[in-house]
């Protein structure tokens, strides 16, 4: 049997999911995860930034929300319903969308005894509430490009991410890659510059014959056109890296949360870019036809 103190220490370490800045904590941290946060200042009134970026429920866009106020729910120590005994009690923070004035409320529990001043510069804090909840609607580029089943998997992945269930989120996003990769590779062929297209087509045919998404991506990743590789970032290499790690290496929820976000971001980037570049090429061809038709008429 482990001594109670040591067990407590171990539990405490396990509970500290990860560290975050004050901004990251509000913008992205899941609910009910006890996180070490780097506060701006140690007072309840000034510990968070005055503006954060969140998806606005009303505007259906990412907006800047300004901090409008805060409120203590209880001005006593909280010692019954939670394992956190030295808390100043939940504090509600009110933000407002800069465009439509929709309110966004967070309820935060700090591990601190002090009522006005938060005892530590990097206290442990838990987001125990948020209203309205984060949207689980996939972004527009995903809604336009994935079928109903793909969109459902995306939303399930988002729900898992918001609740800190990294292994689940990773599994949902990996399933989307498995389902979509062949179709996505065919679409990419159209945006590869003409000089490189034949080589890429051959790689895609080879990839179609492979069984798993990770094998397919490994075959094509080094041949991805530069228009789909911003700077030195290769979204396929990132997806490949995440898929090769993940659950098979015994990843924890915390590790998988990072991998899930990598797969989601990279997939969203590549799907969105392929759509934009295809649209642009179509538009150009249409305009050229019109111009060509007009110049023939002029003659
Ligand atoms: Zn708004």
Confidence at residue 75, expressed as pLDDT on a 0 to 100 scale = 56
Q: Give the orientation angle of helix 166-189 with respect to helix 194-209, to 10 degrees.
A: 130
59 — pLDDT class (breaks 50, 70, 90): confident
Query: 63 alpha carbon to ligand 1 midpoint, in Å?
Result: 6
Q: What is the pLDDT of residues 256-293, one digit of tens each?
A: 888 888 899 899 999 999 999 888 878 888 888 877 77
Confidence at residue 181, expressed as pLDDT on a 0 to 100 scale = 94
207 — pLDDT class (breaks 50, 70, 90): very high
Task: Specify the pTM.
Answer: 0.67
Query: 96 alpha carbon to ligand 1 midpoint, in Å?
Result: 8
CA 224 – CA 252 distance, rounded (Å): 31
Confidence at residue 18, expressed as pLDDT on a 0 to 100 scale = 64
Query: 18 alpha carbon to ligand 1 midpoint, in Å?
Result: 30
Query: 284 alpha carbon to ligand 1 midpoint, in Å?
Result: 35
Query: 65 alpha carbon to ligand 1 midpoint, in Å?
Result: 8
Query: 266 alpha carbon to ligand 1 midpoint, in Å?
Result: 27
The residue extents of the domains of the chain are: 4-131, 140-287
Confidence at residue 299, expressed as pLDDT on a 0 to 100 scale = 55
DSSP secondary structure string for all residues of 160-177? HHHTT-HHHHHHHHHHHH
Give the 3-state DSSP-derived string for 182-241, with helices as H, strands as E and coil as C. HHHHHHHHCCCCHHHHHHHHHHHHHHHHCCCHHHHHHHHHHHCCHHHCCCCCCHHHHHHH
CA 128 – CA 89 distance, rounded (Å): 11
Tracing tokens 């968070």 back to the chain, one arrives at 48
CA 37 – CA 110 distance, rounded (Å): 10
Give the list of residues 6+ apart from residue 291 with CB closer than 8 angstroms, or none: none
Ligand 1 ion: residues within 5 Å (CB):
56, 58-59, 63, 97, 99-100, 102
Query: 52 alpha carbon to ligand 1 midpoint, in Å?
Result: 13
Q: What is the pLDDT of residues 87-145, one digit of tens each?
A: 577 899 999 999 999 999 999 988 776 666 787 788 888 898 999 988 788 888 888 89
Tracing tokens 């040591």 back to the chain, one arrives at 6
Query: 51 alpha carbon to ligand 1 midpoint, in Å?
Result: 14
Query: 92 alpha carbon to ligand 1 midpoint, in Å?
Result: 20
Query: 107 alpha carbon to ligand 1 midpoint, in Å?
Result: 20
């Amino acid at each position: 049997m482990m001594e109670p103190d040591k067990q407590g220490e171990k539990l405490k370490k396990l509970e500290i999911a990860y560290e975050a800045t004050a901004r990251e904590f509000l913008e992205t941290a899941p609910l009910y995860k006890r996180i070490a946060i780097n506060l701006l200042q140690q007072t309840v009134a000034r510990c968070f930034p005055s503006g954060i970026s969140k998806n606005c429920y009303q505007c259906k866009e990412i907006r800047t929300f300004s901090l409008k106020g805060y409120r203590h729910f209880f001005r006593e120590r909280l010692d019954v319903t939670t394992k956190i005994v030295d808390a100043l009690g939940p504090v509600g923070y009110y933000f407002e969308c800069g465009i439509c004035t929709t309110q966004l409320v967070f309820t935060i529990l700090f591990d601190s005894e002090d009522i006005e001043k938060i005892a530590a510069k990097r206290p442990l804090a838990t987001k125990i509430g948020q209203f309205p909840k984060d949207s689980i609607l996939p972004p527009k580029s995903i809604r336009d490009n994935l079928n109903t089943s793909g969109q459902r998997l995306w939303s399930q992945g988002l729900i898992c991410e918001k609740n800190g269930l990294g292994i689940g989120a990773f599994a949902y996003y990996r399933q989307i890659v498995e389902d979509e990769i062949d179709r996505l590779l065919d679409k990419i062929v159209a945006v590869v510059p003409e000089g490189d297209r034949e080589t890429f087509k051959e790689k895609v045919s080879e990839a179609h014959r492979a069984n798993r998404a990770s094998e397919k991506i490994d075959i094509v990743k080094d041949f991805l056109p530069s228009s789909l590789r911003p700077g030195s970032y290769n979204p396929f290499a990132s997806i490949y890296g995440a898929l090769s790690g993940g659950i098979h290496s015994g990843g924890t929820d915390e590790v998988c949360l990072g991998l899930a976000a990598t797969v989601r971001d990279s997939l969203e980037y590549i799907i969105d870019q392929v759509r934009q570049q295809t649209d642009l090429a179509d538009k150009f061809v249409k305009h050229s036809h019109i111009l060509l038709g007009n110049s023939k008429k002029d003659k």
